[in-house]
Amino acid sequence: MDVNEHSGKVAGIDVHWRSAGDVPLLYVHGVPTGSWDWVPFLERIGGVAPDLPGFGRSAKPGHFDYSIDGYAAFLEAFTEAVGLDRMTLVLHDWGSVGLALAQRFPKRIERLVLFTCVPFLPGFRWHRIARVWRTPGLGEVFMGLSSKWGFRQLSKESNVTPGSLPEEFVDRLWEAFDHGTQRAILRLYRASPEDLLARAGERLGELRCPALVLWPRHDPYTPERFGQAYADALGGDVTLELLEAGHWVWLDRPEVVERTAEFIGGGAQP
């Protein structure tokens, strides 16, 4: 299926997004990627995938509220702008801000797919890189010293396939990792202490739609046990599948694209 690219203003912000077909499905990417992360899913299933403010080719304004509530408000405006009323959500990493939207409007969510999302759950502790980013001064120095070579080396722990993440993937990460994205990351992490993450998921039980939790066993950033914790917290019929994969599950296990299509109901046909 062809993937189309769009741009327009949403809530006063210049936003870039990708779409395919007419499936009512919203993908929300994490840090530090963009809508390009979802191209294999868009090609197979269809749907809509924005670059969140601060990422990809969307604007990265200094005045934006880079927080869970700020992104939930953006997603509310975005879904209205593109005509998504009832929808399926597919979320990864900081795409968990989609859960903040879902808890505001649980009846709008038809199905839910979670890939190793930031836990909006009690008991989570930030990983070592996040702790650096959350530290004023140290986070800025770390960002300033970032390099494509460093990305490539660090990515070796993000997958179970030997070596670093695919070169094309690293190229895309680095291409958009400018000052605006670095600022967005620092602000988002600093606005998100662990107690706030737990509070952000207090109404997950109100999400009574069917859910598929595809959780990797080898994510260096989010422990395996939070896959079960999400499955327990959600209020609908939940299927949990633990996979021999790293943080970007579909890079290690491309078959999860088809598994997602199957769960959603086939999506648009290839």
Question: Average pLDDT for residues 38-62, to the nearest whole number?
Answer: 97
Average pLDDT, the chain: 95
pLDDT tens digits for range 199-219? 999 999 999 999 999 999 999
Picking from 257, 268, 264, 266, the residue whose alpha carbon sits closest to that of residue 111 is 264
pLDDT tens digits for range 101-115? 999 999 999 999 999
Question: Average pLDDT for residues 17-31, to the nearest whole number?
Answer: 97
What tokens were used for 237?
């019929």
Domain ranges of the chain: 4-264
Lowest-pLDDT range, 11-15, 175-179, 205-209, 262-266? 262-266
pLDDT tens digits for range 117-142? 999 999 999 999 999 999 999 999 99
Alpha helices in 176-214 (DSSP H): 179-190, 194-200
Distance CA 100, CA 247 (A): 21
What pLDDT sits at residue 132?
Answer: 96
What pLDDT sits at residue 269?
Answer: 42
pTM > 0.85: yes or no: yes
Amino acid at 130: A
- Superfamily covering domain 4-264: Alpha/Beta hydrolase fold, catalytic domain (3.40.50.1820)
| pLDDT at residue 28 is higher than 80 | yes
Sheet strands side by side (includes 238-243): 4-10, 13-20, 47-50, 25-28, 87-93, 109-117, 211-216, 238-243
pLDDT tens digits for range 234-252? 999 999 999 999 999 999 9
Picking from 50, 106, 79, 113, the residue whose alpha carbon sits closest to that of residue 249 is 113
pLDDT tens digits for range 166-198? 999 999 999 999 999 999 999 999 999 999 999
| pLDDT at residue 270 is higher than 70 | no
Distance CA 37, CA 169 (A): 9
| pLDDT at residue 56 is higher than 80 | yes
DSSP 210: -
What pLDDT sits at residue 266?
Answer: 59
Burial of 219 (0-12, 13-18, 19+ CB in 10 A): buried
